[in-house]
Amino acid sequence: MGYKVVVAGATGNVGREMLNILAEREFPVDEIAALASRKSLGTEVSFGDKTIKTRDLDTFDFTGWDIALFAVGSEATKAYAPKAAAAGCVVIDNSSLYRYDPEIPLIVPEVNADAIHGYAKRNIIANPNCSTAQMVVALKPLHDRARIKRVVVSTYQSVSGAGKEGMDELWEQTKAVYNPVQEVPPKKFSKQIAFNVIPHIDVFLDSGETKEEWKMVAETKKILDPSIKVTATCVRVPVFVGHSEAINIETEEFLDWQEAQDILREAPGIMLVDKREAGGYVTPIECVGEFATYVSRVRQDSTIENGLNLWCVSDNLRKGAALNAVQIAELLGSRVLKKG
């Protein structure tokens, strides 16, 4: 016996990936429902070798359904997730709405799987921000060995993190540079994204950091360890899919780069690709469509006593969103619901 699974926001980038990954990983699905807003009602989406029509999120009855994967943004989640949870359906939410609620677990299965049992308080589990998810997967095994004190991270985040509109804007602006028939002014982003980088993701806070940078700090503390100090600079780059991060780590105990490589090579969810030669590292192009979080460029930081640098790349629509949500569903199934 398998699960009755709902994917809310099934026509968006992340929702479509959720359906793909449920099928790819052969999650034990007895019945699947793809939900969307009224304007997308009836749109056909793929689930494995099947094509299913979307149903109306507004009128859907969650009674009798086991798990709902939400990829609809915070406003819609606020309206519909409590209804699903009250009907006995466990919600795994990809928006930022519940991430910082102390009653709701924020989970990356390779890092804090034991937090899964906290779902019962509200019947809701939060999925972390895309840039946080891949980073904590890389940090966890190093933290277990040498206790991380401080992290300095700079991100290079693809436009798919801003949804279909972000991808369309990069595409249209790039075409306009080569064929300048008409200007394509920035709409989704604050400045031109084609052939440019923008050090601004989400809104600015009074502190001078952006909300995206604040999210990385707050979520790392909640998922991994509240004592870790984190500072982030988040940058949007003209790449369609795949987030990259340059991560500087300071540990309490000394950890040499070769031992760090050995640890990362054996760590769950990590693929170490680190040859000290041209092309001996992973870039966003290679990570698209993959499940792994890739780590390269592991080296000592000689400016501090116990320091390491590394390069971390992952498909933000997968580990950064849809894959992590499905992994949470798998964890929920194996440890709590125990069907299938």
**Residues whose CB falls within 8 Å of the CB of residue 59, separated by 6 or more in sequence, listed in order:** none
CA distance 29 to 6: 10
Full DSSP string of 216-281: HHHHHHHHT-TT-EEEEEEEE-S-SS-EEEEEEEEESS---HHHHHHHHHHSTTEEE---SSTT-S
Report yes or no: 22 and 47 within 8 Å, Cβ to Cβ.
Answer: yes
Is 14 known to sit in a ligand binding site?
yes
Active site residue 130: yes
Q: Tell me whether residue 236 is annotated as binding.
A: yes
**Residue 161 assigned ligand-binding role:** yes
The verdict on whether residue 160 carries a ligand-binding annotation is yes
Residue 145 marked in a binding site: no
Is 297 annotated in a binding site? The answer is no
Is 13 annotated to bind a ligand? Reply is: yes
Say which of 130, 234, 287, 312 is annotated catalytic: 130
3-state secondary structure of 101: coil
Query: Chain centroid to CA 213: how far?
Result: 14
Is 157 annotated among the ligand-binding residues? yes
Tokens describing residue 50: 């099947």
Under 8 Å between Cβ of 249 and 309: yes
- What gap in Å lies between CA 59 and CA 38, rounded to an integer? 10
The encoded tokens of residue 188 equal 């989704």
User: Catalytic pick from 234, 243, 287, 312?
Assistant: 243
In this structure, are residues 5 and 32 in contact, taking their beta carbons and an 8 Å threshold? yes
Instruction: Confirm or deny that 55 is annotated as ligand binding.
Output: no
11 carries a ligand binding annotation: yes
Distance from chain centroid for Cα 63: 28
Binding residues for phosphate: 99
Binding residues: 11-14, 39-40, 99, 157, 160-161, 180, 236, 316
- Tell me which residues are annotated as active site: 130, 243
Binding residues for NADP(+): 11-14, 39-40, 160-161, 180, 316
